[in-house]
Amino acid sequence: MDKDINITLKVWRQKGPKEKGQFETYQLKNINQSVSFLEMLDILNEQLVNEGKEPIVFDHDCREGICGMCSLYVNGHPHGPATGATTCQLYMRRFNDGETITIEPWRSAGFPVIRDLMVDRYAYDKIIQAGGFVSVNTGGVPDANAIPISKADADLAMDAAACIGCGACAAACKNGSAMLFVSAKVSQLALLPQGKVEAARRAKAMVAKMDELGFGNCTNTRACEMECPKNISVSNIARLNREYICAKLKD
């Protein structure tokens, strides 16, 4: 049964990108465990507004695990202690009465803090943009199943396409590497015949953009995979290495 719990929150507060931040401690009483983590923050913000204080800034949108807007590094884990779930899918039943919960923003040079818990993840959008478009033949709508794709490939492509671009991979990585994200985006297209046309160019362009933006070099620690809310596999990173090395060797 869900109970009402009292918790202590240690929240990172930072006025702006250049400002020095620090932790603020807040007490919350009688939070029902059926409440979601973000609703708990809403309750805290309401309390802060009523006290005439600045509410805590944090990113969120869909609140159902599909948009990739929510972030938050909760008790040492991106997207909190749950596995295979985003912060918005995290519920207070994961926490106990009297617990202290530490909430931090993503900390990686690629994701500078905008304010409080909100970080700038535009770098990921730039990498996607560098990937470019996929060529399709114009004309009538093609018949369903006109292009044969093996079940195995279709499944792998779908799994890679589950990436929501949240940035937890780089946030979890001690090397500040974006390889899990980039490899998912390269894989979802490289695995399918429709994506093969530009596959080599796409891999080269996205890796070049990733390097240019200053993300780190992957050393296969697998922290990204363990923390990814969509369970993206590091085997995608092996595929990206393969695609990239082959593309470069062919040049």
Footprint of ligand HEM (CB under 6 A):
217, 219-220
Q: Return all residues near 46 (Cβ < 8 A) that are at least 6 apart.
A: none
Binding mask 147-186 for other proteins (x = CB under 8 A): ---------x---------------xxxxxx-x-------
Cβ–Cβ contacts within 10 Å for residue 7, how many? 20
- Considering only 37, 58, 73, 91, the residue that binds other proteins (CB under 8 A) is 73
Task: Answer for the pair 80, 74: CB distance below 8 angstroms, yes or no.
Answer: yes
64 closest CA partner among 159, 172, 164: 164
Alpha carbons 148 and 146: distance in angstroms, whole number: 6
238 binds, among ligand SF4, ligand FES, ligand HEM, none (CB under 5 to 8 A by kind): none
206 lies in the binding site for ligand SF4 (CB under 6 A): no
Give the Cα separation of 55 and 41 in Å (integer): 9
Judged by CB under 8 A, does residue 19 bind other proteins? no
CB of 183 to ligand SF4, least distance (A): 8
- Number of amino acids touching ligand FES (CB under 6 A): 14
Question: Six-digit token pair at 194?
Answer: 């429709």
Nearest distance from residue 175's CB to ligand HEM, in Å? 8
Site residues for ligand SF4 per CB under 6 A: 163-169, 180-181, 184, 228-230, 232
